[in-house]
Chains A and B, each alone.
Chain A
Amino acid sequence: MNSSSFDIVHVDDKLYLKFSGELTLYNLTSFESKIDSIDFSKEKIVVIDFMKLEFLDSAASIFIYNLEKRLLSYGIKVEILCENSDILDILHLVKHQKEKLTKIPYHKRRNIIEKIGESQYKNFIGFLSFMAFMGELFSNNMHYLTSFKNIRYKEIAFEINESAVKAIGIVAITSFLIGLVVAYQSAYQLKIYGANIFIVDMLGISILRELSPLITAIVIAGRSGSAFTAQIGAMKITQELDAMRTMGFDPYKFLVIPRIIALMITMPILIFISDVMAVIGGMVVANVDLNISITLFLDRFADVVAAKHFFIGIAKGPFFAFLIATIGIYRGLIVKDDTQSIGFNTTKSVVESIFAVIICDAIFSIAFTNLGI
């Protein structure tokens, strides 16, 4: 850049701004400060002299354009001396572009009330769209159930395998460990009072009635609900859903309802497996820690734990399954045409379905207790 220079010269009543060498975005700032320090108030005519300039880039041209405009607004005449056609071209181009340019509008900063309002409105719209989905699901369901011929056994069987049979292992292990942990913690307390045998009552009711359905639902929401969202979301992005619609394959019939039915069928079975595993976990601790033999444990279990607790736990299954599957699928269907959206909606689907399951469980809990069941 040492070949570039900038001089200010007065000749007669004209102020010459002489540039030579190159004027680019690298050396623009140093010239700018010099130009800013000039007192233009006494000047009548300013000559921008590019006779010795070899190269001018677009950033510098914009600067020159702005300078010219500023001087004109002071009432100063501006002349540009230049014979290099490349430089003239770029000056002309910048001038032409700037004249039809409109400023990029900046978003106005919004205050907190507007932000709260907007997010609440979005939540409301989200809720409405979920309701619309449920409505469509219901009407499709009605249509679907008019004939047995419509039921897609193959898809349902496939989904049962994918979202339930393959989940048996993880459900069993989680439940076994939870049974173990709960029993272990309560064994410690019960020993203090010498109430060892009551571990059977405690485990029986808490596992069958609450813990097993909840654990199963949470594992399935994390495992299968998220998979629903990701699968359907990806299909939406690749236009597979559109392709299905144009071929007359209703996605509700092919993708949505089979998944919901599959999960509703298998959830009670998974809860049953979870019940068995968690009780075994408790039994192991009772045996090792509290010296309650397996026979004694099972006898006591049959005596004190009423069958209704088991049935309540199982009956929650289809409801939880419905919530997990519908939220997972709904989130998949509203994925937008970008890859970020899949991740966002998958996270949302897991969080929302676990939340919905817990709310549903709370409602059941209150309802059943008040009904005396």
Chain B
Amino acid sequence: MDAIRTEALTKRYGKARGIEQVSLRVQQGEFFGFIGPNGAGKSTTIRTLLGLLRPTSGTAEVCGYPVGREMRPILARVGYLPSESAFYPGMRVGEVLRLSAGLRKKSCKEAAGRLCERLQLDPGRRVEELSFGNRKKVGIVCALQHDPELLILDEPTSGLDPLMQKEFFAILQERHKSGATIFLSSHILSEVQRNCGRAAIIREGRVIACDSIEALARTSARRVTLHGSAPLEGLAGIRDKKEADGIVSFLYSGEMGRLLAALAAGQVRDLTVTEPDLEEIFLHYYEGKGDVG
């Protein structure tokens, strides 16, 4: 059974872009990444899957149930972490967690306690006094405490410090091992790369690629920036080269050994090799196999 399945899902509304003809399949037990820059349609897709938005056309199924008027069977099986968690004013963290559990007609006291401890979240704090990161943690506990089959996470790590991010992904990996499906929406390529088995890339409302992480990463180049000079002429796989004030920057998708040899032959005072930002990867997908998805 597919945990998520959409067929030509389209949502157009107002001035926002929405999504066009999104077809996705996420199998049960997958750790699936959903990558795209802000405003690409990630949240719109998720909100449509959760029944907050009514699709303009197309169909969707979550946990085997059709997305439509009756959302309860889906929502009972899903844990959702919104990109920005907002809670009712005047409540304490513990009260929010109990409210969430109460709305699910479940008692999640033990699970909530364990999660709060691992995420170092004080249930006695008032929600309006919490920092963005701590509010996020409340959202995480709400999404996880009822032990859902499917976790839908929208930009889950924004606001979390690196240690917390590590702990959070450790929890996700545990859930994944015990059989939960995880749908992780993010604009941070590295966290998708580290955690997910497969991923889809969405841009301007359309899915432009959907493949295993290995396949997606293979095609992605590196952004190389160096201070000084090196004999780069004739090196295959250089694109988007910029030179200014003794700084050379380019996208490299050729053989690493040749690049290193060329750099060693030159006068390089400083060097950084980073993942290209998403925009560059999208460009790559647009120039190359633009309609893989």
A binds B: no
Q: Which residues of B are at the interface with A, using a C-beta cutoff of 8 A?
A: none
